[in-house]
Amino acid sequence: MKIITTSGKRKTAVARATIRKGTGVVRINKLLLDIYEPEVARLKISEPLFIAGDKANKVDISINVQGGGVMGQAFAIRTAISRALVEFYEDEELRELFKKTDRTLLVNDPRRKETKKPLGRGARKKRQKSYR
């Protein structure tokens, strides 16, 4: 039996996907995708499943995701799912279809939060100076 493990990252969220032959069940932290909230995140997560079409209905995908916020996790999950499907089917056409639709389906987003600097409240904001 073929089992593939892949991962996806976005900001501080890390998703690990395990894919095996099955009936199209997708679980995120042991919770079914159909009842995953919020709905916007669920729709983002299901994008690679819609693009893959019939191929997604022949496999079970189990995802473990930690860190980050809701949308960061959603984008990490969709990357992990896309990579898992491409690797499971070893399909170059599917890879090209994912790349053509949205590159972030296969490539992690390298952007991170900019670090806070001294003399200010955040990364760029500084305290105002008054010379009077």
Q: What is the spatial distance between Cα 111 and Cα 116, in angstroms, rounded to a whole number?
A: 15
pLDDT, residue 65, reads 95
pLDDT, residue 131, reads 84
Residue written as token pair 């984008």: 75
Q: Which residue has the higher pLDDT, 1 or 51?
A: 51
| Model confidence pTM above 0.95 | no
The pLDDT tens digits for 15-28 are 999 999 999 899 99
Mean pLDDT score across all residues of the chain? 91
The two structure tokens encoding residue 132: 């009077």
Q: Domains in the chain, start-ordered, CATH in brackets? A: 3-105 (3.30.230.10)
* 54 contacts: CB under 8 Å, gap ≥ 6: none
In this model, does residue 115 exceed pLDDT 90? yes
pLDDT, residue 19, reads 94
- SS3 readout for 44-104: HHHHHHHHHHHHHHHEEEEEEEECCCHHHHHHHHHHHHHHHHHHHHCCHHHHHHHHHHCHH
Residue 12: closest CA among 108, 89, 96: 108
In this model, does residue 3 exceed pLDDT 80? yes
The two structure tokens encoding residue 84: 């898992």
